[in-house]
Structures are given as C-alpha cells and as structure tokens.
A and B are shown apart, each in its own frame.
Chain A
Amino acid sequence: MTAVAGGRRGHRDVEVTLCPGGPMLLRGAAHVVDEDGEQHAVVRPVVAVCRCDKSARAPWCDGTHKLL
C-alpha cells in the first residue's frame, strides 16, 4: 500500500502515526493506493488506514481490530 502526498496544494509532507493495536493515521495524504492498485481519495483531514486486514471498509479502518 502506498500513500501519495499532494493534492490541490501540490506536494507536501505526509505525517504517519501508528496507533498501538490500531490503525495508521495519515495527515496530508491525497490518496491511498491499495494492494490491487486501486486508488482511494482522502476526503477528511486525517484518515485511519486499516492495519489488521479485517476491515469491511478497506483500506480504511472501521474499528474491527477492537473485536479481534
């Protein structure tokens, strides 16, 4: 999976935060490309990317890690 910086304001830094036992938070990403090469646009200030591989809304976290 790759996160691409940029978007309307051009290239900028992407901040990545790994949450213990939880998702990866991305700030400043324009879109996320999943394992199948599909591009998912980032539409909120911060997004949570699934790290447990069990989300029903992949690539985004849907809280399922808390049930594992």
Chain B
Amino acid sequence: MKLPRARGPVSTAVFERMLQARDVLAGPLRVELASGDPIEDDDLQVTLWALYELHYRSFEDVDEGWEWAPELLAVREQLEAPFERALREEVRPQVAAVVGAPGDLADRLFALTDSFEGPSLAEHIQRHATREQVQEFLLHRSVYQLKEADPHTWVIPRLEPDIKARLVELQFDEYGGGRPARVHQALYARALIEAGLDASYGAYVDDVPAITLALSNATSLFGLHRRLRAAALGHLGAVEATSSIPCRRFAAGIRRTGFSDPVAVFFDEHVEADAVHEQLAVRGICAELVKASPDLEADVVFGASVCLAMDARFAGRLLDAWGNQEHVAAPGRHESVVSA
C-alpha cells in the first residue's frame, strides 16, 4: 500500500514529512487545524488514518522508522483531541442515559444496541439496493474490514488475566481459529475479489469520505490508548451485538442482486460467529470488566455508543446519496472495479 493522497494542508504537510527518510533532527511539525466537525473533516481523518496505519501494515513508500517519531505522535495527538471531544459530544445523551441506570450492565448494553435510532442500511441492502449500491457498500466496508479485529487486539496486554482470556478466545475465532482461510479479514478479501473489487489492503482509502475513515479511526483511537481500553471493549460489544441480524440481511441482499456465494460467505459467517461473540463480548468481557473495575463503566458505554453513532452516520450518508441516485464513492472510479 502507498500513502493515500493528501486532502488538505494538514495531510499535505504530514505526508510530505512521511515520504522523507526518517531524520531524527527534522524537528517539530506545525499544523493548523480547520474548524468544523472533526468527524467529517477529510483532511483530519485521512491524516489520522495514515498516522495510525504506521502501527498496522504501514506503507511501502514510507520509512518504517517514522512509527514512533515524536513529531508525528505530536501531530497525532493534536488531531485526536478534537476527534475524541467530538465523539464524546456525539454520544453524550446515550452515555448519560445508560451509565449508572438500574439493571445488569449486559442487559443495558443489549437494550442500547437494540434501541439505538438510526437508518437501517441492512434492510435497504436486503430488499432494495441495486447491484452497484451493494458493491459500493462492500467498498466502504473494506477500509475497516481488512483490519477487522486488529484494533481490539491492541487491548489484550492491558487486561487482567480473566478478561484477557475471554478476549483472546473471541479474537481467536476472528482470526480463523488457526485456519488462515477462515480469518475474517481473509473472508472479506475473498468477498471483494468475487464482487469484482480490489482486495488489496487500503485500496479504496482515496475513494471514501471522512466518515468511512472515521469509523476505522475511532477503533484505532480506542485500541492504541491504554486509557481508552474500556471504550475499545465497549466498542467491540456493540460491533458484535449489531452484527448477526444485519449480516443475515446483507447476505440476502448480496444473493438477491446476483453476486456469487463467496461474496455472501463473509456475512453468513458473521451471522453465526457474532451470535456467539455478542454474548462473549457483552456479558463475558464488558460486564465482567466493569464488575471488577466499576469506574470503567462510563468508558464501556462511551465506546459502545460511538460504534452505534458512527454506524448510524455512515448509514445515513449512504442512504441519502442512494436516495438521490448518487454514490458516495463511485464504483468504477477505481480501475479495478468491474462494472456490474
């Protein structure tokens, strides 16, 4: 993967630095952030995505030595602060309603994921989406899905043994239970190829809007900061608890629009796997974590709410565009997309 294209002054300055050989004497990097919503800020989100990516697969045109460069970490912190504030603001009502409310935390988290208001992308895909819209949906999801599970894996060494064992058990299934072909990331890559899309990691980063990058960046923010470990686990709980039923609808829509079975297999797998994982994540991980450390409850609920709120924003964005016969990321713009 190569560094994505810059989308504004911040990414231009940061990417220019990243394309040079690591120079410990290069000195601080000063960037000026734009005002406005950080979640929808293309320049901020693509910069943050690239800075986080140094810790995952990195870029063939970037010196690996930049990963822990203080000046890049300083810029990252400068971008993360408004992003995290915006996320906290976005879900303030949900967090206030759930934290400290009566009842078992697991039941409250399931109630939150069941009742969160948002447009149903899954229902649209199941019943109405065109083949091009299904393809576009797969394209957006590729930004996160090709690193599915990785952001939550950062949390493992930060946990006490009992919760750690539960998280590893869940992640082992995400990573195919020892079978490389069953790694969820690999299943998604297979789905992309069968749908006529580019399965290479990060292939569509240049084609998607800020919100698609922000979905991925929120998980990296939680995963890479020990202080936000409970938010990462709350996020995991909400991902798993909003997966089985929507994935059944996605699979149905994929088959309805004439894509081959291997495209739907990723979603079939998640119907069954996530019916298990939601119990493991919500009851075995989130609720048990808070039982041991009650002060982490607010962060668990925060992380869960962020997952739901970002999914709702993303769904709204796609459905609005599709309602106007438009695309958010036009399939076909990218060379390797086969026209449907």
CB distance from B162 to the nearest CB of A (A): 14
Known A-B contacts A45-B173, A66-B114; the reply to A23 vs B279 at CB < 8 A is yes
Chain B contact surface mostly: helix
Query: CB within 8 Å of A: which of B254-280?
Result: 271-276, 278-280
Known A-B contacts A46-B169, A57-B271, A60-B272; the reply to A19 vs B245 at CB < 8 A is no
Contact A19 B248 (CB under 8 A): no
List B contacts of A62 (CB < 8 A). 244-245, 248, 271-272, 275
Contact B279 A48 (CB under 8 A): yes
Interface residues of A, count at CB 8 A: 21
List B contacts of A23 (CB < 8 A). 275-276, 279
Partner among A22, A63, A64 whose Cβ is within 8 Å of the Cβ of B274 = A63
The total of Cβ contacts below 8 Å across the A-B interface reads: 56
Instruction: Flag whether B124 is at the interface (Cβ < 8 A).
Output: no
Instruction: Flag whether B326 is at the interface (Cβ < 8 A).
Output: no
Instruction: Flag whether A56 is at the interface (Cβ < 8 A).
Output: yes
B104 — nearest CB in chain A belongs to which residue? A20
B245 — nearest CB in chain A belongs to which residue? A63
List A contacts of B276 (CB < 8 A). 23, 25, 44, 46-48, 61
Besides A20-B107, A66-B110, 17 other A-B contacts (C-beta < 8 A): A19-B279, A23-B275, A23-B276, A25-B276, A25-B280, A44-B177, A47-B276, A61-B244, A61-B275, A62-B244, A62-B248, A62-B271, A62-B275, A63-B243, A63-B245, A63-B274, A64-B245
